[in-house]
Amino acid sequence: MVVPFSKKGYHKYYMKRILAVVFLVFLTSSPALAAKGTASSFLYFLEGYRSSQAGRYDEALQSYKSALTLDPGSAQIRNEMALLYVKKGELGNAETLLAESVRREPKNRHSLMLLAGIHASKNEFDKARQIYEQCIAMDREDTDAYLLLGSIDIAQKKYREAAAAYEKVLSYDGENLMALYYTARLYGELKDFEKARSWYEKLLAIKPDFELALLDMGTLSEIEGRLDAAVGYYKKAVQVNPAGKKARARIAAIYVQTRDYDRAISEFEKLSDLDREDLSIRENIGLLLLEKGRYDEAIREFSLILASRPRDDKARLYLAIALQEKGDLKKAIEELLRVDQKGEEFQAASRNLLILYVKAGAVDEGVQQIGKLIETNDKNVSLYLLLGGLLEEKLDYGRGITTLEKAKNLEPKNVDLLYQLGMLYEKNGDNDSALKNMEEIVKVEPDNPGALNFIGYSFAEKGINLERAEALVKKALQKRPDDGYIRDSLGWVFYSKGEYTKALDEIQKAKELVSDDPVIAEHLSDVYAKLGQRDKAIDLLHQSIDLEKKNDRKKVLEEKLRGLEQKGK
């Protein structure tokens, strides 16, 4: 918003006017020269000015009104009254006074400028523009009018017009710092970075310690990918203003981007010295320490944050991760269990808890702990999902299904819940129920790649609905083109349709993406067998057997291998 009323130039102008009036009062105080009414008007004006300076705006207005009664033609009194109305937020009264002032004195520049400022503050840009242009017509080098005209162009996103206004100032005042600065910024906004840089360089040649220009040049250099140059400008800005946080923050961000974590930590430490209250800086330091593998120091940082903000669940999550990376799994679990179960961070915490319970070999303990939490918070679906995951780890699929069905009653359209439930049904041998849950997902999220792939692959396995299966898996592959498992599903659809060359192409791509999956190796073996390339089929079955960890599946694959080998005899 454009609000020109605070410009120092106006205040200086009015002080000069007051001094001039005081001089005239003394000069005309003799009965031969002075009119009694005029002198009284000045006294009221002076009282109004004193009250205004003391912040007693209503008293000031009363005095100014008395002065105006005695001197009704005074634009000065109306201007002062208008300024007070602006301070009180009564723009309508201010506008009325200034309009009358301009009517009486059409070329009173200060009345015009104040009136234009009111129009601009009310977003009446066309009215403001007309007045600024009127001022420029009276004085082709009216810098304030050009600058303010540019500001309303900026407010309307007319950046080229604004740049033209500022460049007009520079045509007769080439060292005007504000015109240089805003011209440079405007060309940056227009993405004409070459011109922007040129104007910034002209500005910095005149005033090398212009902090805003240094910061902008740093940003411009970042946009252009010249990170070393950006750091150089930001460091100059720090020299100009050692207490400024923005430049140090950008330096730190660049060091993070370039993975120079030690320097980034150093910059964040300096930032923290400037603002001890900003704990987000300590959080950044903790994350960098975590990235560097300095787990004890990271644990210290996150613990300090929690000492000041015990309910900072994000910091608690990071603390748990640091403890996990250090190998202190029990303490990591304890921290995650302290995360507010009703907060948005608990969903991430519950996923981490599942991993930690498994890694710590404490699945049974996890089942007990989470079961107790559900007793006191039986509406939290994240807890049910966590318990379902733990029961899946125990291969207790039936109880896992029962747990998740309860959760489904709470949130029947929860996609994560439906998917996990579908997978449990599939592992429990109930493929129809698994498909039902996946179909429910597709109703909620038609583009869900996991559900689309599951349904398509299930059809391919059964040799049914193969046209729909192909369409579903291709749709899933559009969402995740580099997913080897989905590509394998597409290959298996082609296999089921008897299109073995197409199947070979897709499953070979899947094998390149996921080289250690026994099922993909088996599928590729089956395709080669259909294409009559028995040696390759046998080699891939050997790979599948080596990769398979489940004994029952190994036996099936070994029997299949024997069958292939006997065919060649």
- Given a contact cutoff of 8 angstroms between Cβ atoms, the answer to whether 233 and 214 are in contact is yes
Instruction: Find the DSSP H helices in 377-517.
Output: 381-393, 397-410, 415-427, 431-444, 449-462, 466-479, 484-496, 500-513
End-to-end Cα separation, the chain, in angstroms: 88
Instruction: Find the DSSP H helices in 156-244.
Output: 159-172, 177-189, 193-206, 211-223, 227-240
According to DSSP, residue 515 is labeled T
- Given a contact cutoff of 8 angstroms between Cβ atoms, the answer to whether 282 and 299 are in contact is no
Q: What is the DSSP string of 371-391?
A: HHHHHH-TT-HHHHHHHHHHH
Question: CA separation (Å) from 21 to 64, 111, 495?
Answer: 15, 18, 100
pLDDT of residue 568: 62
pLDDT of residue 39: 57
pLDDT of residue 30: 34
Identify the H or E element spanning 518. Answer: helix 518-530
Stated pTM of the model: 0.69
d(CA 148, CA 142): 10
Quote the tokens at residue 321.
Answer: 């991760």
What's the alpha-carbon Rg for the chain, to the nearest Å?
38
CB-count burial class (<10 Å; 0-12, 13-18, 19+) for 540: buried
- Given a contact cutoff of 8 angstroms between Cβ atoms, the answer to whether 203 and 210 are in contact is yes
pLDDT of residue 419: 97
pLDDT block averages, 10 residues each, the chain of length 569 = 35 38 34 46 90 93 92 91 92 93 92 93 93 94 94 92 94 94 94 95 97 96 95 97 94 96 95 92 95 96 95 95 95 94 88 93 95 92 95 96 97 96 96 96 97 97 96 97 96 97 97 96 96 94 94 93 81
For 338, residues 6+ apart whose C-beta sits below 8 A from its C-beta are 316
CB-count burial class (<10 Å; 0-12, 13-18, 19+) for 250: buried
CA nearest to 503, candidates 492, 519, 516: 492
Helix (H, G, I), strand (E, B) or coil at 73: coil
Domains plus CATH for the chain?
1-122 (1.25.40.10), 515-569 (no CATH)
According to DSSP, residue 429 is labeled T
Single-letter amino acid, residue 216: D
CB-count burial class (<10 Å; 0-12, 13-18, 19+) for 259: exposed
CA nearest to 435, candidates 415, 455, 419, 452: 455
- Given a contact cutoff of 8 angstroms between Cβ atoms, the answer to whether 79 and 48 are in contact is no
Helices 484-496, 466-479: crossing angle, 10 deg rounding: 160
- Given a contact cutoff of 8 angstroms between Cβ atoms, the answer to whether 557 and 544 are in contact is yes
